[in-house]
Amino acid sequence: MWNPEYEAMDREELQKLQYLRLKHTLERVYQLVPHYRNSFKRAGLEPGDIRCLEDLAKLPFTVKDDLRDNYPYGLFATRLGEVVRIHSSSGTTGIPTVVGYTRTDLEIWSELMARTLTAGGGGRDSVVHIAYGYGLFTGGLGVHYGAEKIGATVVPISGGQTRRQVRMMKDLGTTLLACTPSYALYIAETMAEMGLTPGDLKLRSGIFGAEPWSENMRHVIEEKLGINAYDIYGLSEIIGPGVAYECPAKNGLHFSEDHFMPEIIDPATGEVLPEGATGELVITTITKEALPLVRYRTRDITSLNRQPCPCGRTHTRMAKVSGRSDDMLIIRGVNVFPSQVESILLEIGQTAPHYQLIVDRKGSLDTLEIWVEVSEQMFSDKVKGLEQLEKAIKTEIDNVLGVSATIKLVEPKTIPRSEGKAQRVIDKRKL
Ligand code: DLL
């Protein structure tokens, strides 16, 4: 553990700390951010009405549109003079979201990433290869400062030029890789093309996140790179990576509860759900200075588990995020997450873990096409084998997801590779 005093804090102590920090945050936003003063007033509430942690549920939500409506600095609780860094999430449509950090915010972020890296096998002697994008995206710089904090040797390579990445990992003796899971796979593929096996490198672990990835994808990455693969979660609005991270138990991501409070709600009604129920993750920041957010709706679908973890950390564990409520495809009324399709494809095998879902509408009927690359060996095989594979995938998708799909087996390297977040869905219905 990087910081056992906090990571393994007695839960009662932790809750006391959370309450003090929450009160302070609520008072600050009420005084300093007109948006919150107005929204609290509309709900007939003042910070003094929040008398215990459960009272948090009385407060109104904050949504992405609130950030957009107050673009760029309207939700900041500090003067710009106190803000030392800006990041931004591009989003797919409209105005980007701008987030800011004070010096203290950056220190906390580094601390959280130090915890993340330590849990993911990093330490003073690690050589950390950071292939998350550097720049306005929080991945590169977020991991960077955490890796420096633990005293690791940092290689700030950013994304792109994959062959060069592999060569440098080999030459520099990289032990820990940080990038999106889809890029990790691309790196593994490139390594193989260059005639290298995991034994030629010193890689031992990887911290992968920024997009949903299935348990089966974890196994593929671990095998191809010969490493332990850990899931890390975060979002720019809250701080970036560092919100939650896996430990060696790989059974849920420890949520940094001394800085952020998680709730799970029913996305349709907004009602708080009991422990263990799956729903939308809502986060309240309790130490952020520049951009505190109260009950921020992440749109990410997960559940919480407060049972003790064998690693000794006491912070709540969040299940692997299965997808975003706004990425969830509704195909002829059936809810489908790309990660479920990924899981099925990898379970069946014989395909490469590169796939895309193409959704369209013919008349009033939704159609789902799943493009998936087959392995080199399979592709040169007889047509009969391909037909059988296609049929097996179709049947399994039908059985498990309850939706019929057309399966299109494509040649290796047909589906675009990504250096950042992979595009898994092309929804032509919106065009
Ligand atoms: O993706 C921050 C990050 C960087 C996290 C590097 C992990 C590693 P945004 O660009 O604002 O920030 O995107 C945030 O990405 O709401 C989720 O939908 C998704 N996401 C992030 N981590 C995971 C994960 C960064 N481990 C959005 N599993 C979030 C599934 C993830 N989805």
Element (H, E) at 213: none
Does the CB atom of residue 231 touch ligand 1 within 6 A?
yes
In-domain check, residue 287: yes
3-state helix, strand, coil in the chain (%, to 5): 35, 25, 40
Query: In this structure, are 318 and 414 located in the same domain?
Result: no
Are 180 and 310 contained in the same domain? yes
- Predicted confidence (pLDDT) per residue in 155-169, tens digit: 999 999 999 999 999
Q: What's 62's DSSP letter?
A: B
Ligand 1 contacts CB of residue 324 (under 6 A) = yes
Residue 96, pLDDT > 70, answer: yes
Q: Find out whether 428 and 391 touch, Cβ atoms under 8 Å.
A: no
Q: Would you list the DSSP string of 151-164? A: TPEEE---S--HHH
> What is the 195 CA–ligand 1 centroid distance (Å)?
32
Structural contact between residues 342 and 355, judged by C-beta atoms closer than 8 angstroms: yes
CA angle 354, 359, 361 (to 5 degrees): 160
Sequence-distant (≥ 6) Cβ neighbours of residue 407 within 8 angstroms: 369, 370, 372, 390, 393, 394, 397
Residue 137 CA: which ligand 1 atom is closest?
10
Q: Which domain holds residue 143?
A: 69-326
pLDDT digits (tens, 9 = 90+) for 9-48: 999 999 999 999 999 999 999 999 999 999 999 999 999 9
User: How many angstroms is it from 239 CA to the middle of ligand 1?
Assistant: 11
On the question of pLDDT at 94 being above 70, the answer is no
Query: Could you tell me if 379 and 269 lie in one domain?
Result: no
Measured from the CB, is residue 233 less than 6 Å from ligand 1? yes
Query: What does each C-alpha distance from 246 to 80, 315, 390 come to in angstroms?
Result: 34, 11, 35
Domain count, the chain: 2
* Ligand 1 binding pocket includes 325 (Cβ within 6 Å): no
Pocket mutation for ligand 1, best pick of 246, 255, 321, 339 (most atoms within 8 Å of C-beta): 321
Position 91 confidence tier, pLDDT thresholds 50, 70, 90: low
Whether 422 and 287 share a structural domain: no
Does residue 183's CB lie within 6 angstroms of at least one atom of ligand 1? no
Q: How far is the CA of 243 from the centre of ligand 1 (A)?
A: 10
CATH of the domain at 364: 3.30.300.30
Among 63, 101, 179, 300, the mutation site with the greatest number of ligand 1 atoms within 8 A of its Cβ is 300
Please state the atom number of ligand 1 nearest to the C-alpha of residue 231: 26
- Let me know if 291 is exposed, middle or buried by CB neighbors in 10 A (0-12, 13-18, 19+): buried
Cα 216 from Cα 361, distance rounded (Å): 30
**Nearest atom of ligand 1 to the alpha carbon of 243:** 5
Residue 24: CB partners within 8 Å, gap ≥ 6?
286
Contact 126, 115 (CB under 8 A): no
| Three-state DSSP state, 35 | helix
pLDDT, one tens digit per residue, over 265-309 is 999 999 999 999 999 999 999 999 999 999 999 999 999 999 999
Ligand 1 near 132 CB (within 6 A): yes
Q: Which of 88-97, 125-134, 407-416 has the lowest mean pLDDT?
A: 88-97
**Residue that is last in its domain, among 288, 306, 326:** 326
Query: Is 321 close to ligand 1, i.e. is its CB under 6 Å away?
Result: yes
Centroid of ligand 1 to alpha carbon of 122 (angstroms): 20
Q: Name the residue at shortest CA distance from atom 29 of ligand 1.
A: 235
Q: Which residue has the tokens 């995206």?
A: 137
Distance CA 236, CA 181 (A): 18
Ligand 1 pocket test target in 68, 183, 235 with most atoms within 8 Å of CB: 235
Domain identity same for 311 and 201: yes
339 shares a domain with 298:
no
Q: Are 169 and 305 in the same domain?
A: yes
Residues 368-424: tens digit of each pLDDT: 999 999 988 887 777 788 999 999 999 999 999 989 999 999 999 999 998 999 989
85 in a domain, yes or no? yes
